[in-house]
Amino acid sequence: EVLTEDPETAFCTLANREDLNLEEGSIYHCLYQFTRNEKLTETNKLLCDVCTQRHCGPKKNLKSEKYIYTNAKKQMLISLVPPVLTLHLKRFQQAGFNLRKVNRHIKFPEVIDLAPFCTVKCKNVAEGNTKVLYSLYGVVEHSGTMRSGHYTAYAKMRSMNNHLSDPVLRGQSPQETEPVKGQWFHISDTHVQAVSASKVLSSQAYLLFYERLL
């Protein structure tokens, strides 16, 4: 579905994307690439109903070869931020007829700001807010190859915090800007071990789980 938007704000975000530290191999770089502005040209041109009707009359009276296609811009941005953010990293690539696992470490922070990837008209962000913060609480890691391997997880044990949970249950956002305090644990089958936050942040993440702070 193509929606008519104000051209002045159609590609605007809650926070300036140019201020990001886009270090290659970071989760911010991945999100920036995923939400980048794309040009639709040649075989990717957009079918324009307005152009078609202006030149040829009602579309229902046309054959498909008379439709008017035009160059366009496309950008995928977040229009409704979730209480829990799940990021799934694509850890495989096509190599000829085979799939190859990507073992590269992707840097990710304990607190991430989604504002540079949200539309300026994001539905559940208060007007004037230029930050949408999330705190990391879980990581899934995969070791091995595309044919075999082992999944382990890192999870943060936090004490119940009504100041954070109550607003989320009411569909609101808690007003916190620091990571949720707690102890990290590494879970591998039945083995559980306490680990440091630095150990978690150095893991080869496959899935990242964040909870909303602001």
Q: Which long-range contacts (CB under 8 A, 24 or more apart) does 51-60 make?
A: none
Checking if the pLDDT of 3 tops 60, the result is no
Q: Is 50 exceeded by the pLDDT of residue 14?
A: yes
pLDDT bucket at 1, cuts 50 / 70 / 90: very low
Q: Quick one: what percent of the chain has pLDDT higher than 70? A: 84
- Per-residue pLDDT, averaged over 92-113, amounts to 86
Q: 199: which residues sit within 8 A by CB, 6+ positions away? A: 154, 184, 186
Average pLDDT, stretch 64-88? 87
Structural domains of the chain ordered from first start: 78-212 (3.90.70.10)
Q: How many CB atoms lie within 10 A of CB 168?
A: 14
Identify the residue whose tokens are 């007007």: 127
Average of per-residue pLDDT across 91-97? 79
Question: Residue 52's pLDDT is what?
Answer: 77
Poorest-pLDDT segment among 71-75, 184-188, 195-199: 71-75
Q: Place 64 in a pLDDT band, splitting at 50, 70 and 90.
A: low
117-176 confidence digits (pLDDT tens): 999 988 888 888 899 999 999 999 988 877 788 999 999 998 766 555 566 556 565 566
Residue 204 vs residue 95, higher pLDDT? 204
CB 150 within 8 A of CB 46: no
This prediction's pTM: 0.79
